[in-house]
Amino acid sequence: MERGVYAAATGMIAQQAMQEVVAQNVSNSTTVGYKQDIVTFRAMQNMMLRRQNGATDRGPEIGELGSGVNEDETTIDWTMGPISNTGNPLDVALEAGNFLTAQTGTQVLYTRAGNLKIDGNGILTTASGNPLLDINDKPINVQGKTDVSISTRGDVTAGKQLIGTLKVVQANTRSMQKAGGIYYRPLDANAIQVEKSPRLHTGSLEQSNANVMQGLVRLITVSRSFEMAQRALTTQDELLKQAATEVGRV
């Protein structure tokens, strides 16, 4: 009977993990360039049950009994989000598998969020304020320049003057992991290659690929599944107490 308790408990833990991932996706449904997470689960090792013939004799097999589920892994859904036209000359949307290069403290990270801005020092940055790097791994400074725009090849110009070219990379997305917020880092340095012929969608942004309505429906489903597993656990606990009481009376 304890096996039922364990199975119900693993179900509750799995639904809690699912809730955290879905809630994170819903909260980022309006974040530019966000890629939703998908959590997967696997069945824990099944147990073979046998009929007991007497105190020591093991009888024939009855069948397998599941022992619950366990979280397997959380992966990133790299499906393209919808592209919206903004008309902002500093907004860019990237092709699938492409990333912009940003300096975040001492780290170089990558992002698909193309809602760029110019900070108080004239540096072209991400929306969170981290400098974007050019093809020479230097920040792009447009201090004192006007009419700043970005071409489809990533050239940053002020009027007709070329200021720098955004460093756009092509990445093997299977080797990319989230590094917080809108940033990613490669698990393997060889997964990153400079994109020689980038094609940016200027004046446009890639929106989050997380659908808020689907996420809210999923949260309701997860909540109810958690409640069902909780009721199963409570029932198993009550049966255990009853069995202990009855055995004590005997």
Between 98 and 181, the more confident residue is 98
Q: Is residue 222 part of a domain?
A: yes
Q: Is residue 49 part of a domain?
A: no
Domain that residue 23 falls in: 2-43+71-77+210-249
pLDDT at 238: 73
Domain finish residue from 171, 190, 206: 206
Can you tell me the distance from the alpha carbon of 245 to that of 247, in angstroms, rounded to the nearest whole number? 6
Q: Is residue 239 part of a domain?
A: yes
Q: Is residue 155 part of a domain?
A: yes
| Same-domain check for residues 119 and 202 | yes
Q: How confident is the model at residue 103 (pLDDT cuts 50, 70, 90)?
A: very high
Phi, psi (degrees; rounded to nearest 5) at 245: -65, -45
| Same-domain check for residues 91 and 22 | no
pLDDT at 192: 94
Q: Is residue 225 part of a domain?
A: yes
Ranges 52-61, 91-100, 159-168: which has the least confidence:
52-61
Q: How confident is the model at residue 231 (pLDDT cuts 50, 70, 90)?
A: confident
pLDDT at 50: 61
pLDDT at 55: 57
- Report residue 176 as tokens: 């990319």
Mean pLDDT of 64-81: 80
pLDDT at 76: 94
- Decide if pLDDT at 157 tops 80: yes
pLDDT at 144: 86
Percent of the chain as helix, strand, coil, to the nearest 5: 30, 35, 35
| Same-domain check for residues 219 and 194 | no
Q: How confident is the model at residue 116 (pLDDT cuts 50, 70, 90)?
A: very high
Q: Are 2 and 216 in contact (CB under 8 A)?
A: no
Between 8 and 116, the more confident residue is 116
pLDDT at 142: 92
Q: If DSSP codes are grouped into helix, strand and coil, which group holds residue 19? A: helix
Q: Is residue 50 part of a domain?
A: no
Number of domains in the chain: 2
Can you tell me the distance from the alpha carbon of 250 to that of 89, in angstroms, rounded to the nearest whole number? 83
In which region does residue 137 sit, left (phi positive, over 0), alpha (psi from -120 to 50) or beta (all else)?
left
Residue 87 gets which letter from DSSP? -
State percent of the chain over pLDDT 90.
58
| Same-domain check for residues 39 and 135 | no
Q: For residue range 164-203, list pLDDT tens digits in order.
A: 999 999 999 999 999 988 999 999 988 999 998 999 999 9
- Decide if pLDDT at 69 tops 90: no
Phi, psi (degrees; rounded to nearest 5) at 171: -125, 145
**Nearest Cα residue to 16 out of 231, 230, 234:** 230
Q: How far apart are the first and last CA of the chain?
A: 19
- Decide if pLDDT at 233 tops 80: no
Q: Is residue 64 part of a domain?
A: no
| Same-domain check for residues 24 and 90 | no
User: pTM for the full model?
Assistant: 0.80
| Same-domain check for residues 131 and 223 | no
| Same-domain check for residues 29 and 108 | no
Q: Are 230 and 7 in contact (CB under 8 A)?
A: no
| Same-domain check for residues 171 and 112 | yes
| Same-domain check for residues 199 and 217 | no
Q: Is residue 136 part of a domain?
A: yes
In which region does residue 237 sit, left (phi positive, over 0), alpha (psi from -120 to 50) or beta (all else)?
alpha
Instruction: Enumerate helices (H) and strands (E) in the chain, giving the number of each.
Output: 2, 19
